[in-house]
Amino acid sequence: MYIVSMDEPIRFDWDKANTGHIALHGVKPEEAEQALENDPVDLDYEVVEAEDRWTSIGHTDGLRVLKLVWTLRGDIVRVVTALDASKNEAREYLQAKGIAL
């Protein structure tokens, strides 16, 4: 995945706007970080208001499967939104990763 670096940990940009937005979906910042650090799968890419945005699906350390939209600002990841993946998305993702529940 584009943001994974073996030398440095991923750095995240959090403020009231994005933490408040993901809280509306019941997601905590540390869960979003885990999902992007646990070898996520990229689903989509688009440019929104001149900003590159990726949609990825990943899992937390507790195996909660999240769909995330994120961007890079310099070398820092800013999560735009994060929410639970649909049941079908979660099942397909976990099967593809070889994770059995």
pLDDT of 42: 92
Place 43 in a pLDDT band, splitting at 50, 70 and 90. Answer: very high
Let me know if 64 is exposed, middle or buried by CB neighbors in 10 A (0-12, 13-18, 19+). middle
Q: Is residue 5 part of a domain?
A: no
Q: Is residue 6 part of a domain?
A: no
Q: Is residue 73 part of a domain?
A: yes
pLDDT of 55 over the 50 cut: yes
pTM comes to 0.88
Q: Is residue 53 part of a domain?
A: yes
State which residues form the domain around 71. Answer: 11-97
Q: Mean pLDDT over residues 53-58, rounded?
A: 96
Q: Is residue 3 part of a domain?
A: no
pLDDT of 101: 67
Place 100 in a pLDDT band, splitting at 50, 70 and 90. Answer: confident
